[in-house]
Amino acid sequence: MRTDIELVSEGVTCRGWLYVPERGSADAPVPAIVMAHGFSAVKEMRLDRFAEAFAAAGLASVVFDYRGLGASDGEPRQDLDPYAQLRDYRNAISFARRRPEIDPARIGVWGSSYSGGHALMLGALDRRVRAVVAQVPLIDAYAWLRGLGDEPLASLLAAQIAERERIYDGGEPAMMPVTGDPTAALAAPDAEAWFGAMAKLAPTWRNSVTLRSWERILEYSPLRWIDRIAPTPLLIIAAEHDVVCPVHLAREAFTRAGEPKKLVVLPVGHFDPYEAPCFTAASGAAVEWFTTHLGR
């Protein structure tokens, strides 16, 4: 059911997995979901669970690591650029459309957290995408930080200015921890617990990203593109107690999106949809959406 794959994105080899349900073949191609992970994460961090749920419902999946992360090639390592990741996603869609087991006219995208924002962007920008599921998605990091008060945002902006000037003068990009430190990129307690547990499953994951990765997040706003998704069917799965991607921004995005659309709000935190018992609800909602709009 699962095979290792390599796909080329702008000359860089990205590696991942291809899941094909038993009935998928060149004579009977099936719909496919293209999927990648969120902030700094790699495919072993529970994406296999979602791909297996999709396969059980008759859907293929292309699961991959972005350039510079995990099993994929690319330099510099751990340097997160949302637009480069979008291009990797779009090249993964091209890869999927060339597989004989996959129906090129029935491609969906799934993303979670940072990649949930990417899924929204892909729905807005790429008309090859026929259905979108954005789980606990990044909507607008600048709006979220502004809501925390002036001081945190001002401090982060000052750090990014200093880093940009330092790199201009010839310095190498500085690194920061993803979690486990008060100054980490994701300092929330549930982030530390989840990444700590997932690191045991993902030996290629590194607890570091470039400091300038945060500058790029502040420049990235899927919310500004949300009205371009329709008429592509959109499902947003949000978490009521999410402190990483707040639910009020998910609700705002949903309100601004066109039909067809659906919002599912789960009474949990940001990382709970990856784990039991919440995984059943999150994956079930995604399966229902994809099979309704892509078929089986």
For the residues of 237-288, what is the DSSP string, one character each? EEETT-SSS-HHHHHHHHHHSPSSEEEEEESS-TTGGGSTTHHHHHHHHHHH
Give the domain CATH number at 130.
3.40.50.1820
Terminal C-alpha separation, the chain: 16
Asked, for residue 201, whether it belongs to a domain, the answer is: no
State residue 52's pLDDT score: 98
What phi and psi, each to the nearest 5 degrees, are found at residue 167?
A: -65, -40
Instruction: Tally the domains of the chain.
Output: 1
Asked, for residue 180, whether it belongs to a domain, the answer is: no
State residue 26's pLDDT score: 76
Asked, for residue 213, whether it belongs to a domain, the answer is: no
Asked, for residue 251, whether it belongs to a domain, the answer is: yes
State residue 156's pLDDT score: 87
State residue 146's pLDDT score: 82
Asked, for residue 162, whether it belongs to a domain, the answer is: no
Owning domain of residue 112: 2-140+220-294
State residue 113's pLDDT score: 97
State residue 179's pLDDT score: 95
Low-confidence ranges of the chain (pLDDT < 70): none
- Is pTM beyond 0.85 here? yes
Asked, for residue 172, whether it belongs to a domain, the answer is: no
State residue 233's pLDDT score: 98
State residue 25's pLDDT score: 83
Asked, for residue 182, whether it belongs to a domain, the answer is: no
